[in-house]
A and B are shown apart, each in its own frame.
Chain A
Amino acid sequence: MRLQWRTDLLSDTALVRDVALVCLADGIVGVSFGATAVAGGLPWWVPVAMSLLVFAGGSQFAAVGVVLAGGSPLAAVAAGAVLNTRLFPYGLAVSDVISAGGSGGSGARTRRWAARLTGAQLVTDESVAFALRHTDPARRKAAFWTCGAALFTVWNIAVPLGVLAGSAMRNTAAFGLDATFPAVLLALALPTLTDGRTRVAALGGAGAAVALTPLLPAGLPVLAALGGLAALWRPRRRPDADGAGDSQAVRRPAGHAIPVRSNR
Chain B
Amino acid sequence: MMPLLAIAALAALTYALRIAGPLLADRVSVPAAAQRLFTSAAAVLLMALAATSALTAGHDFAGWARPAGVAVAGLLAVRRAPFPVVVLVAASVTALLRLAGIH
Partner of A186, one of B6, B13, B25, B70: B70
Partner of B70, one of A62, A117, A179, A225: A179
For residue B72, give the distance in angstroms from its CB to the closest CB of chain A.
9
Instruction: Determine the distance from Cα of A54 to Cα of B8 in the docked complex, in whole angstroms.
Output: 8
Taking CB as reference atom, which chain B residue is nearest A122?
Answer: B18
Chain A-chain B contacts (Cβ-Cβ < 8 Å), number: 304
Contacts of A116 in B (CB 8 A): 19, 22-23
Instruction: Determine the distance from Cα of A50 to Cα of B10 in the docked complex, in whole angstroms.
Output: 9
Taking CB as reference atom, which chain A residue is nearest B90?
Answer: A183
Question: Beta-carbon contacts of A36-64 to B below 8 Å, as 1s and 0s?
Answer: 00000010001001100111101101111
- Given A73-B5, A77-B6, are A89 and B95 also a contact pair (CB < 8 Å)? no
Partner of B43, one of A28, A89, A202: A202
Interchain CB contact under 8 A, A54 and B7: yes
Contacts of B30 in A (CB 8 A): 88-89, 92
For residue B55, give the distance in angstroms from its CB to the closest CB of chain A.
5
Contacts of A186 in B (CB 8 A): 46-47, 50, 54, 70, 73-74, 77
Contacts of A55 in B (CB 8 A): 14
Binding site of A, secondary structure by majority: helix, strand, loop or mixed? helix
Contacts of B35 in A (CB 8 A): 89
Instruction: Name the residue among B2, B25, B83 with the largest chain A CB count within 10 angstroms.
Output: B2
Interchain CB contact under 8 A, A88 and B20: yes
Partner of B87, one of A28, A53, A69, A207: A28
Q: Does A86 contact B (CB under 8 A)?
A: yes
Instruction: Determine the distance from Cα of A98 to Cα of B37 in the docked complex, in whole angstroms.
Output: 25
Indicate the size class of the contact surface on chain B: 35 or more
**A residues 99-122 in Cβ contact with B at 8 Å:** 99, 116-117, 119-121
Instruction: Name the residue among A42, A88, A221 with the largest chain B CB count within 10 angstroms.
Output: A88
Partner-binding segment picked from A3-11, A149-157, A188-196? A188-196
Interchain CB contact under 8 A, B2 and A87: no
- Given A179-B69, A179-B91, A182-B70, are A54 and B14 also a contact pair (CB < 8 Å)? yes
Interchain CB contact under 8 A, B19 and A190: no
Partner of A190, one of B42, B49, B60, B77: B77
Q: Does B1 contact A (CB under 8 A)?
A: yes
Question: Beta-carbon contacts of B47-76 to A below 8 Å, as 1s and 0s?
Answer: 111111111101110100110011001100
Contacts of A42 in B (CB 8 A): 1-2
Q: Does A94 contact B (CB under 8 A)?
A: yes
For residue A159, give the distance in angstroms from its CB to the closest CB of chain B.
13
Question: Told that A95-B21, A208-B48 touch, could you supply 4 new A-B pairs with CB distance under 8 A?
Answer: A25-B83, A89-B35, A182-B66, A225-B45
Q: List 27 A-B contacts (CB under 8 A).
A: A26-B83, A53-B11, A63-B10, A73-B1, A73-B6, A74-B6, A80-B13, A82-B41, A86-B39, A91-B17, A91-B20, A92-B22, A92-B28, A92-B29, A174-B99, A176-B65, A176-B90, A179-B54, A180-B87, A180-B91, A186-B50, A186-B77, A190-B78, A202-B43, A206-B47, A208-B48, A214-B59
